[in-house]
Amino acid sequence: MDIVSLYASSKPAAPALVEGERVVSWAELAALRNRCARALRALGLGAGERIVAYHANSIDGFVASLGAQAVGLTVVPLNHRLTAPEARYIVDDSDAAGLVQGEEFDGVVDELETECGSVRHWIRFGAPRGRRLSFGALLAGEDDAPLDDAAEQAATMIYTSGTTGKPKGAMRTNMSAPAQLGYLQSLIAELGLRPGEAHLAAGPLYHSAPRAFAGVAMALGNTLVLMRKFEPAAALDLIERHAVGDTFMAPVLIKRLLALPDDAWRGRDLSSLHTLIVAGAPCPMTVKRGVAERLGPVLYEFYGSTELGVNTLLKPADQLRKPGSCGQLFPGVAIRLVDANGDEVPEGTPGEVHVARNQQVFDGYHKRASDVHDADGVEWISVGDIAYRDAEGFYFICDRKNDMIISGGVNIYPAEIEQALVEHPAIADAAVFAIPDEEWGEAVHAVLGLEPDVALSDAEVRAWLEPRLAHFKHPRSIQFVDRLPRDNAGKLLKRTLREPFWAGRERGVN
C-alpha cells in the first residue's frame, strides 16, 4: 500500500513533515517523493541496487529515502559520526550505486568520492559540488506524477554498530510491506499509539529504532516532527508546540532532558505526551524515576535489535515494580534461552537469547551468514545477548555473550555491575569489562563517569557495592574519567575502552 499517496488523497493539506519552520503537507510530500523517484530512475538507479543516505534528520533526507524506495532502491543510512575510513568501509561493503548527502558532510564525501568505485551517482543537498549533482535541481527537472510501476515493498539495510568487529549490513523489507501489517498493528496497540497526533523524531534516523518509529508515525498518517540535532530544551519546545503524542529516545537523550533545570520545565504543557519509548541501552532506575516524576506513567521500554526488531516490552505499570527487566514477550515473538550445548535453561538461569523467525526479523546480513539454528523445524536467530526469565515471564538482559567476563571459571555479567554502579547518586555512567589477570585469567575493571563537581574514591565505590553484589563481582580496579564514549543512540563503545588492556594478547572479546 502506498501510504503517502493514500494520505495525499484523504487529507492533502494536513502536515506530514515539520523541520524547524518548514512544513510539508501530505500532498506536497507525495509530489516531492514522485519527483525524486523519477529523477533517480532517469539517472539509471533502480531495483536491486543500494543508495547511501548520509545526512542529518531533514525533510530533504526523508524525501530522498521515499523516492529511492519507490524505484526499488535499498536505502543504506550512514552514521554521520563515523570517520572517513569507517564511512568508506560501509559504502564499499554495501556496493552502493548512489550516495545522497547533506552539505555539512562535504569533508568526508570529498574523500569518499575519490575512493568508492561502486558509486555511479553522487547527490548533494544544496548546490552541486565537483561530481555531485544538486538534489533540488534534479527534482525541479521532473514532474510530480506517480510512477506507474512504483515498488510495493521498500527496503533498508542498516549497518550494526560493530561492537564485536566490522559493522554488518542488516537487510530487511520495510514495515509498510503488507506481510508486516500484523507487527505494525501490534506496535500501535501495545504502545498506545494514536492517529491524528504528532511524533517527534528526536534521535538520528540512521539508527534502526528512530527510523522504525518514524515509519509507524507515517503509517498512522501522523505529523513527523524532525530534529536535525537533539537539544533537550528544544525537544521540550517541540513537544509542547506540536502537541507531540509519542517519541523514541535512547536513555542518554532522556538523561539530558531530566538534567534540565526546573525553570526549563516550569509552566509547560506537556500533557499531550503519552508514550515515551526507550531502548538501545539499559535504562537506569534513576532515569525511570525521573520520567515518572516529570511526565507521569508514559515510559515504555523494549528489548530488541536492528536484526530482530522488538522482542520484549516493559509497560509503564511495571517500570518501577520490575527493576532491571526489559519486559515480557512482545506479541508474535517466541524466545528460547539456551546454554552452550543448545539446551534450554531453567527459570532464573542465564542463557543465550534465541528468537524464532517472524515477520519482523531481518532477512540476513549483506554478504554474510547470520547465526541461525534449527530446532523442531523453527529457525532460531541469536545476536549474542544473555538473559534470564523470572516466574512472571519477565526477561532480564545480563549482557552480550562477548562481553561476559570469565574470572576463575566463574561467569560474570558486566551489565549487572553497571546497573548497581549507576544507582549511586554521584555516578553518571559506568562501563565494566574484563582485563587480563595472571591469577584469574580475567579480572573485573570499571570505568566510571561522575556527575559534575563531585568526587568519589575507590573505597566509597566498594562500600556502595558491598550490600548489593557478591564480592566476586566487585571491580578489582576502578578508573575515573570525565565522559564515557557513547554513540548517538547511547550505545556504550566498550571496545575503545577495552582495547588498550588487551593489546598484543589473544582474547575472545573484540
- Which string of DSSP letters, residue by residue, matches 434-449? EEEETTTEEEEEEEEE
Domain extent, residue 486, equals: 404-502
**Statement: residue 420 has pLDDT above 80:** yes
- 386 and 418 part of one domain: no
- 384 and 408 part of one domain: no
Residue 7 lies in a domain: no
Residue 144 lies in a domain: yes
> Please, are residues 53 and 76 in contact by the beta-carbon 8 Å criterion?
yes
Res 495: pLDDT: 81
**Statement: residue 510 has pLDDT above 70:** no
pLDDT class for 455, splitting at 50, 70, 90? Answer: very high
**Statement: residue 362 has pLDDT above 70:** yes
**Statement: residue 100 has pLDDT above 90:** yes
**Statement: residue 239 has pLDDT above 80:** yes
Q: Per residue in 256-272, pLDDT tens?
A: 999 999 999 999 999 99
- 449 and 391 part of one domain: no
**Statement: residue 162 has pLDDT above 70:** no
Query: Running DSSP on this structure, what letter comes out for residue 432?
Result: E
- 68 and 84 part of one domain: yes
C-alpha separations of 137 from 113, 213, 301 in Å: 20, 30, 43
Q: H or E stretch including 110?
A: helix 106-113
- 212 and 308 part of one domain: yes
- 217 and 346 part of one domain: yes
CATH number for the domain spanning 451: value is 3.30.300.30
Res 153: pLDDT: 75
- 143 and 226 part of one domain: no
**Statement: residue 456 has pLDDT above 50:** yes
Q: Per residue in 194-225, pLDDT tens?
A: 999 999 999 999 999 999 999 999 999 999 99
- 463 and 487 part of one domain: yes
**Sheet of 299-305: strands edge to edge?**
22-25, 15-19, 223-226, 198-201, 244-249, 275-278, 299-305, 309-314, 328-329
Res 9: pLDDT: 97
Residue 175 lies in a domain: no
Across the range 313-317, mean pLDDT stands at: 98
Sign, CA torsion 288/289/290/291:
positive
Domain count for the chain: 3
- Which pTM value belongs to this model? 0.84
Percent of the chain with pLDDT over 90: 70
Q: What is the distance between the alpha carbons of residues 75 and 69, in angstroms, rounded to a whole number?
A: 7
Q: Pick 369 or 380 by higher pLDDT.
A: 380
- 228 and 371 part of one domain: yes
Res 163: pLDDT: 46
CATH number for the domain spanning 278: value is 3.40.50.12780
Across the range 77-83, mean pLDDT stands at: 88
Across the range 354-371, mean pLDDT stands at: 87
Look up residue 316 and give its three cell numbers: 509503564
Across the range 279-283, mean pLDDT stands at: 81
**Statement: residue 509 has pLDDT above 50:** no
Q: Per residue in 139-155, pLDDT tens?
A: 999 999 999 888 877 79
User: What's the whole-number average pLDDT of the chain?
Assistant: 91
- 142 and 274 part of one domain: no
